[in-house]
Amino acid sequence: MQLQDVKQVAIIGSGNMGAQIAQLCAQVGGFQVVMTDMSQELVDAGLKRQRDSLQKYFVDKGKMTTDQMKEVLSRIRGTAKLAEGVSKADLIIEAVFENMALKKDIFKQLDAAATPHAILATNTSYLSVTEIASVTKRPEKIAGMHFFNPPAVMKLVEVVRAVLTSPETSGIIFDLAKKLNKEPIYCRDTYGFLANRAATITGVDDAVELMWTHAAPPADIDRAVKLGFNHPMGPLELGDLTGDWAIRVFGEEDRIKELGFEKGHVHPMIRMMVRAGYTGGPGKKGVYDFWKEVLSKW
Ligand SMILES: NC(=O)c1ccc[n+]([C@@H]2O[C@H](COP(=O)([O-])OP(=O)(O)OC[C@H]3O[C@@H](n4cnc5c(N)ncnc54)[C@H](O)[C@@H]3O)[C@@H](O)[C@H]2O)c1
């Protein structure tokens, strides 16, 4: 199979990442797209976010006509029925919650419902693609396709080769990323892949420790990193943007398993913050609010 044989793409999960990846596939890739989630309400919410974003960032800015927007949207179909939704897909991208048990369960269902030629990709940020693939009968057709947040804007896609991923499969994912106007980079299946591993997993713990010990408020720590290293964003504001705080707490066990306790454990402040609802992510409170409302008064 080659990328030109891919006509229909299915996206599992219509949340923050899934809805935008589906939109990219329809808008930039020109594919027929089916998007699924656990309920019709969740699917509809994802479809609405796509409509709103096309209107705000393209139609209102004169980059697209209303008819063109309608055409893009007509290529996206939403359904809460996973098996029916993926039955005709040539390529499936999973973007459900970052939880190994859930992802394995989804991949078992996908393996049973998808056509034998279909490629299955996961947008996991940290988890082992080899372990996810192990529950299927087609591990050679499984790879990671790790977009960055917001996927409509960020250029990087990590193409993760699991132990049994075939060169054909990773090549198609690589070509798909290019077709979506992204800059793909190959990477072996290793905890956190390249960018998260190199830039956030360990470095962010020191940023949190500095804030926890009142060395400086979060805005100054971020400013130091931005001005000192020419980074466009600091590690703390990035965590607030992506909702990485909750992912770090929920993924602690996997991280310790893969990296060892020293690198894998969650800073106690992150655990405390997440328990109190300061998870970061769109519309949610994060580390900047935690400093303002809690820590600076302690
Ligand atoms: N947010 C980020 O910054 C970011 C960046 C890169 C990759 N990722 C990865 O993308 C994936 C999704 O993250 P997100 O931020 O979009 O999360 P999200 O919570 O916004 O969306 C997840 C969606 O999955 C759906 N879902 C859960 N169980 C399901 C099931 N059984 N069947 C169908 N749908 C189901 C949820 O209802 C939800 O709509 C995760 O693996 C995450 O690690 C996230």
- Give the CATH number of domain 202-289; options: 1.10.1040, 1.10.238, 2.60.40, 1.20.120: 1.10.1040
Report how far residue 56's alpha carbon sits from residue 39's, in angstroms, rounded to the nearest whole number: 26
Closest CA to ligand 1's atom 39:
15
pLDDT at 202 over 80: no
Q: Residue 35 gets which letter from DSSP? A: E
Q: Is the pTM of this model over 0.95?
A: no
pLDDT tier at 206 (50, 70, 90 boundaries)?
Answer: confident
pLDDT at 129 over 80: yes
The count of other CB atoms within 10 Å of the CB of residue 42 is: 19
Q: Reduce the DSSP state of residue 252 to 3 states and report it.
A: helix
Which residue of 96, 242, 250 sits with most ligand 1 atoms within 8 Å of its CB, as the best mutation to test the pocket?
Answer: 96
Side by side, which strands form the sheet with 142-147? 76-79, 32-36, 8-12, 91-94, 119-122, 142-147, 156-161, 183-188
**Domain spans, the chain:** 3-188, 202-289
Which residue of 41, 120, 125, 182 sits with most ligand 1 atoms within 8 Å of its CB, as the best mutation to test the pocket?
Answer: 125
Is ligand 1 within 6 A of the CB of residue 85? no
Q: Tell how strand 156-161 and strand 76-79 pair up.
A: unpaired
Report how far residue 50's alpha carbon sits from residue 115's, in angstroms, rounded to the nearest whole number: 27
Domain 3-188, classified CATH 3.40.50.720, yes or no: yes
How far from the centroid of its chain's Cα atoms is residue 25's Cα? 15
How do residues 139-194 score in pLDDT, each as one tens digit? 999 999 999 999 999 999 999 999 999 999 999 999 999 999 999 999 999 888 98
Which residues, 6 or more positions from 192, have their beta carbon under 8 angstroms from its beta carbon?
125, 126, 200, 201, 255
Q: Using an 8 Å Cβ cutoff, are 81 and 109 in contact?
A: no
Domains 3-188 and 202-289 share a fold: no
